[in-house]
A and B are shown apart, each in its own frame.
Chain A
């Protein structure tokens, strides 16, 4: 995938002159000429409302004639485009707050969006270093937004390290706002930068707006009597003010939010931050400067009527587990051990105590899993959660829960591997682990979430399967989904069926009769009654030794073991009788090409297939929620396409699974860089693999 990664790396052009040094007060240099150098995509430009519309990579901007085609007057992002903004700075610069508040204002403006935070791996990296850079990316537009965006069109860089790290990601022609106060030799040294990038030509392919943000912030905050360091801390609010102006957004909701947030702090903190916010806004608005800081106009995205909120995958998954508890009318006992990137689920659930959720932080991964199983034995919904390395430790216990026929939900927030791997990066490489990763023949249902909001439904579905079939269920999500956010239409709880468990039998005095009743499995789901200690007259013993198929007693009988092994396989297969047929999300139910995905690749695939279809290609999209067992109609459905492309953030695990289970031929598109797929990467694969014959047909 190396080529893809570098596709948008700007090539410095030494022939282009360096900008002048200007006095401090006039440090605003706008590389106007670069607009015209921008990569021309699509048809290359069009006339729009009397202005020349120039496509600059991912978005369009309106350039006023009156300024000789040089000064941008306000840029309308057309309905079929989106714009990607990235905020970057030091971990201590408040970049995440800046980004999330901008996202909040985007939500209120009615546009669609998707966000992704990019935290440094180190907790408190030294200030100013490249490995201490924290970033927040948002893709927004007046259309459906399915990913946080391939390449940023706008970068706000609060220090040189942030510029250095993020420059390679940018779209050619991107707009960069830099905080010039941080551009000094000390910070260059910390970021290992040999020469001021503003003078080396590295920025020639971009529009750079230089602003002394720290100076401006200190000026604005001065009257409120904050210490110098506290005052400087307000510069994220200053930048937020400027960005709000650029996007024509109201400051009021941010002011309200800040008022609550800083309520417990000394009043000057709120006053200082608001002063910075207003100053940034005013600065951008000032006539003289607005000519240099472009303004973007983004319309409302078409979305169904309803109430929305912004939600991360971790939050949605947590709420989904709470909802499952409500639907099953049982307590949810969530047992976990801290691990990146799964911990946010533990944090969210710890705040949901009023929803019948209890969280137990165990001494290790094994204990977490075992405690969850103990809770399930006791009649609560036991849930454990981790990431690959932690799941590996839970393996033996998961096998026990399967053998003892107890419900358990195992959430795996996948991260880059193997071993400790890349804890803060994303991957979908634990599919084999979920499906096959236990000793002996121990099949389990496995389902995957497709995006942040989908985690809610997936968590309910995983719990439903676990309880109906009395089995552990793997729920796969990943680091990207856990942290990514976007608007989510609030579900109506009335739309969900209650989660019913297999009714326990009546009390039995006769020991043999009692045992038979306890192991009397439902013929369709093969789930046994959920009998918990404390129930009257139903004492029984379970364990990991092979048990008699009828009485549950320890059994070493050869035929019984055969029968039990088959029963366990049939039970997982039976899940397929309860799940919906696989649908086609976009495109036709047959054709030359289908892109099949699972998990967090959903957004990138959706956009790529959508764009390919707009280009006239007959491509379909199928996204799998159920990985074990597969939907019954999947084999037949896939057989209706000439070519199947399977993008995966691993070396081909689901592809292997589909080949094995369905005997299909697939074209693998594998990416294991720790980064999510870019839309272009999938789109390129579609165009490359699109059969020439089909192209001609489409043209006809």
Chain B
């Protein structure tokens, strides 16, 4: 019996080439540690990425890896899963790669529910191409291509995933391994496409853009770690989310003697798309950032249905020599 694998066993001999201080380092460490925690088999694990800073990820993971082309990682991963459904396949993408050039593929891999983990590193900027605004950048983002501030409305990755029909949607923060690692484990355990948006700090081009909720000093006040069957409480239980039945929206309420009772706080049901919708589209101002497994509602995974639909699990049961004779065959005797 070999010694148990450690996080180090999932590292490669390649020099990591992200900018010092980039949030990607923390995510890499967290993924390596998580895989060690679950004693994943590197031979059965594959990381597939597109193009961008985040997409360098596979080179640093001691597993099989494929650094593909811009935006298309989900499609390669789908083909790979069809060829070998046993593999544990992770897609690593970013907000530009996944939501802009690859938006179509992300949409379809989610609705098909291919059994993969999709980690979307959202830094609200194009890093590798030197700092242009991305589809998740907030209006007014100043960048080399938007010197006067960007004007297009940003996309919510989570709401996009839900709209696309994703069955597993979770969120985490790059440097918060304590909360991110369980999310990654849950994503790995889920049979189907698990979509994890990771808020990642691009220290060079969009430094601290998530500071309002990731800053440790105020994290308790600004982060809501959701859990299935538990009330949506934050700020050490001093605040909670309450459903306003008239607006069908969430309201922040104080919990305690002078405020609402805990029973008024909405209880999270991760199988409800309506609750997921509310949580994924909470306004930024005055609300906490929901993190953790926001939506988990299993459905048949595509790779399984695919082979079920192909009969015999894709095994060759017929012979081409016989197939040639399907239809009308006639014999010719030359004179």
- Which A positions have Cβ atoms within 8 angstroms of B? 104, 107-108, 110, 253, 257, 300, 302-310, 319, 322-323, 325-326, 331, 333, 335, 352-356, 358, 360, 362-364, 366-368, 370-380, 382, 396-397, 400, 404, 490-493, 511-512, 532-545, 553-554
Q: Would you call A374 and B83 a contact (CB within 8 A)?
A: yes
- A250: min CB distance to chain B, Å: 13
Q: What chain B residues lie within 8 Å of A377 (beta carbons)?
A: 66, 76, 79-80, 83
Q: Would you call B82 and A375 a contact (CB within 8 A)?
A: yes
- B284: min CB distance to chain A, Å: 32
- A78: min CB distance to chain B, Å: 17
Of B58, B105, B315, B330, which is within 8 A of A367 by CB?
B105
Q: Which residues of B in the span 264-313 have a Cβ within 8 Å of any Cβ on A? A: 306-307, 310-312
B150 contacts the other chain (Cβ, under 8 Å)?
Answer: no
Q: Mark B317-332, 1 if CB is under 8 A from A, else 0.
A: 1111101110111111
Complex Cα–Cα for A541 and B69 (A): 14
- A376: min CB distance to chain B, Å: 8
- A467: min CB distance to chain B, Å: 14
| Count of chain B residues with a beta carbon within 8 Å of a chain A beta carbon | 62
B167 contacts the other chain (Cβ, under 8 Å)?
Answer: no
Q: Which of B84, B104, B327 gathers most chain A CB within 10 Å?
A: B84
Q: What chain A residues lie within 8 Å of B81 (beta carbons)?
A: 374, 378
Of A108, A110, A400, A491, which is within 8 A of B69 by CB?
A400
Q: Would you call B320 and A319 a contact (CB within 8 A)?
A: yes
Q: Would you call A302 and B334 a contact (CB within 8 A)?
A: yes
20 A-B pairs besides A358-B82, A367-B108 with CB distance below 8 A are A108-B330, A303-B332, A307-B329, A307-B332, A326-B316, A353-B312, A354-B311, A355-B320, A356-B315, A356-B316, A373-B79, A374-B66, A374-B79, A375-B79, A377-B66, A400-B68, A492-B321, A493-B320, A533-B44, A533-B45
Chain A residue at smallest Cβ distance from B48: A374
Q: Would you call B333 and A541 a contact (CB within 8 A)?
A: no
Complex Cα–Cα for A378 and B318 (A): 23
Q: What chain B residues lie within 8 Å of A378 (beta carbons)?
A: 79-84, 87
Complex Cα–Cα for A325 and B316 (A): 9
Chain A residue at smallest Cβ distance from B63: A539
Q: Mark B65-77, 1 if CB is under 8 A from A, else 0.
A: 1111100100111
B46 contacts the other chain (Cβ, under 8 Å)?
Answer: yes
Complex Cα–Cα for A189 and B321 (A): 52
Q: Would you call B319 and A541 a contact (CB within 8 A)?
A: no
- B63: min CB distance to chain A, Å: 6
- The A interface, classified by DSSP as helix, strand, loop or mixed, is mixed
Q: Which 7 pairs from chain A and chain B are nearest by CB?
A: A374-B79, A378-B83, A543-B67, A371-B79, A356-B316, A541-B65, A354-B318
Chain A residue at smallest Cβ distance from B317: A354
Q: What chain A residues lie within 8 Å of B141 (beta carbons)?
A: none
Q: Would you call B83 and A309 a contact (CB within 8 A)?
A: no
Complex Cα–Cα for A358 and B316 (A): 10
- A107: min CB distance to chain B, Å: 6
Of A302, A534, A553, which is within 8 A of B44 by CB?
A534
Q: What chain B residues lie within 8 Å of A372 (beta carbons)?
A: 79
Q: Mark B28-49, 1 if CB is under 8 A from A, else 0.
A: 0000000000000011111010
B236 contacts the other chain (Cβ, under 8 Å)?
Answer: no
Q: What chain A residues lie within 8 Å of B117 (beta carbons)?
A: none
Q: What chain B residues lie within 8 Å of A396 (beta carbons)?
A: 69
Complex Cα–Cα for A537 and B335 (A): 61
Q: What chain A residues lie within 8 Å of B323 (beta carbons)?
A: 319, 322, 352, 354-355
Q: Would you call A534 and B104 a contact (CB within 8 A)?
A: no
Complex Cα–Cα for A363 and B79 (A): 13
- A111: min CB distance to chain B, Å: 11
Chain B residue at smallest Cβ distance from A371: B79
Q: Would you call A542 and B83 a contact (CB within 8 A)?
A: no
B54 contacts the other chain (Cβ, under 8 Å)?
Answer: no
Chain A residue at smallest Cβ distance from B51: A544
Q: Would you call B315 and A307 a contact (CB within 8 A)?
A: no
Complex Cα–Cα for A345 and B107 (A): 26
Q: Which of B83, B84, B315 gathers most chain A CB within 10 Å?
A: B83
B115 contacts the other chain (Cβ, under 8 Å)?
Answer: no
Q: Would you call B332 and A370 a contact (CB within 8 A)?
A: no
- Known contacts A358-B306, A490-B329; A382/B320 CB under 8 A: no
Of B66, B72, B306, B314, which is within 8 A of A541 by CB?
B66
Q: Would you call A539 and B82 a contact (CB within 8 A)?
A: no
Q: What chain B residues lie within 8 Å of A257 (beta carbons)?
A: 328
Of B61, B68, B311, B315, which is within 8 A of A370 by CB?
B68
Of A305, A364, A493, A511, which is within 8 A of B333 by CB?
A305
- B311: min CB distance to chain A, Å: 5
Q: What chain A residues lie within 8 Å of B63 (beta carbons)?
A: 539
Complex Cα–Cα for A335 and B42 (A): 28
B146 contacts the other chain (Cβ, under 8 Å)?
Answer: no
Complex Cα–Cα for A375 and B82 (A): 7
Q: Would you call B58 and A541 a contact (CB within 8 A)?
A: yes
Chain B residue at smallest Cβ distance from A515: B13
- Known contacts A378-B84, A397-B69; A356/B62 CB under 8 A: no
B129 contacts the other chain (Cβ, under 8 Å)?
Answer: no
Of A309, A375, A554, which is within 8 A of B59 by CB?
A554
- Known contacts A319-B320, A364-B104, A396-B69; A333/B329 CB under 8 A: no
Q: Which of A539, A540, A545 gathers most chain B CB within 10 Å?
A: A539
Complex Cα–Cα for A339 and B220 (A): 54
- Known contacts A374-B75, A378-B79; A491/B59 CB under 8 A: no
Q: What chain A residues lie within 8 Å of B306 (beta carbons)?
A: 358, 360
- Known contacts A533-B64, A543-B58; A370/B330 CB under 8 A: no
Complex Cα–Cα for A541 and B68 (A): 11
B263 contacts the other chain (Cβ, under 8 Å)?
Answer: no
Q: What chain A residues lie within 8 Å of B83 (beta carbons)?
A: 331, 333, 374-380, 382, 532
Q: What chain A residues lie within 8 Å of B84 (beta carbons)?
A: 378-380, 532-534
- B312: min CB distance to chain A, Å: 7
Q: Would you call B69 and A539 a contact (CB within 8 A)?
A: no
B78 contacts the other chain (Cβ, under 8 Å)?
Answer: yes
B189 contacts the other chain (Cβ, under 8 Å)?
Answer: no
Q: Would you call B316 and A545 a contact (CB within 8 A)?
A: no
26 example contacts (A-B, Cβ-Cβ < 8 A) are as follows A307-B332, A319-B320, A319-B324, A331-B314, A333-B82, A333-B83, A352-B323, A353-B312, A353-B314, A356-B316, A358-B307, A360-B82, A374-B77, A374-B78, A374-B79, A374-B82, A375-B79, A377-B76, A377-B79, A378-B82, A379-B84, A397-B69, A490-B329, A540-B65, A541-B59, A542-B65
